């Protein structure tokens, strides 16, 4: 497994979970799924920023792309916090979840279609495997929920 495949497979998992939450009718199940999604997303974004984006910022001359992606992470984190503090019976919750889903789809598409090809210019197959080990180690962290304390 390399970092690109790892990130892609985690993207598939969070997209599926967001879709399930949108369809869920039971409030208790929905709350549990939201906290599962929040946990998965924060661990994923934290590891991406610490390992993948940090390396890209040092090696790519297209930092604007990375800053945009980081801004999208910030937006995802902010919407997540809002959703987590919304009661499951709140009639606005389904709409909030749909906005999060849209943000996720947009960000994931940009990451895979724009950032991956840029990163592959200077991350070879061997490095991509090594980087995945670091990525998986970083996923053991307990990421902050504070919007101002993200890795980069």
What's the closest the beta carbon of residue 69 comes to Fe ion, in angstroms? 6
Stretch that binds Fe ion, among 19-27, 41-49, 57-65, 95-103 (CB under 5 A): 41-49
Rg of the chain (C-alpha set): 16
Size of the site for Fe ion (CB under 5 A): 2
Span 111-140, contacts to Fe ion by CB under 5 A? 111
Q: With DSSP H G I counted as helix, E B as strand and the rest as coil, what are the percentages for the chain, rounded to 5?
A: 75, 0, 25
Contact letters for Fe ion, residues 42-61 (x by CB under 5 A): ------x-------------
What's the closest the beta carbon of residue 133 comes to Fe ion, in angstroms? 19
What's the closest the beta carbon of residue 63 comes to Fe ion, in angstroms? 16
Q: Where are the alpha helices (DSSP H) in 93-140?
A: 93-110, 116-119, 125-138
What is the Cα 114 distance to its own chain's centre?
A: 16
For residues 28 and 88, give the distance between their C-alpha atoms in angstroms, rounded to a whole number: 7
Stretch that binds Fe ion, among 55-63, 80-88, 107-115, 121-129 (CB under 5 A): 107-115
What's the closest the beta carbon of residue 45 comes to Fe ion, in angstroms? 6
First to last CA, the chain: 25
Task: Give whichever of 2 and 111 is closer to Fe ion, judged by the CB atom.
Answer: 111
Query: Are 52 and 6 spatial neighbours (Cβ–Cβ below 8 Å)?
Result: no
Q: Which residues bind Fe ion (CB under 5 A)?
A: 48, 111
């Amino acid at each position: 497994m390399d970092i690109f495949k790892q990130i892609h497979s985690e993207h598939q998992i969070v997209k599926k979970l967001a879709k399930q939450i949108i369809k869920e009718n039971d409030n208790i199940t929905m709350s549990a799924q939201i906290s599962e999604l929040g946990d998965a997303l924060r661990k994923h974004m934290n590891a991406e920023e610490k390992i993948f984006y940090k390396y890209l910022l040092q090696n790519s001359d297209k930092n604007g792309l990375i800053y945009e992606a980081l801004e999208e992470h910030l937006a995802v984190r902010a919407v997540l916090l809002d959703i987590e503090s919304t009661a499951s019976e709140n009639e606005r919750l389904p709409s909030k979840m749909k906005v999060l889903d849209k943000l996720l789809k947009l960000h994931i598409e940009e990451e895979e279609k724009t950032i991956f090809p840029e990163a592959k210019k200077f991350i070879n197959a061997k490095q991509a495997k090594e980087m995945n080990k670091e990525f998986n180690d970083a996923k053991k962290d307990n990421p902050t929920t504070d919007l101002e304390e993200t890795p980069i």
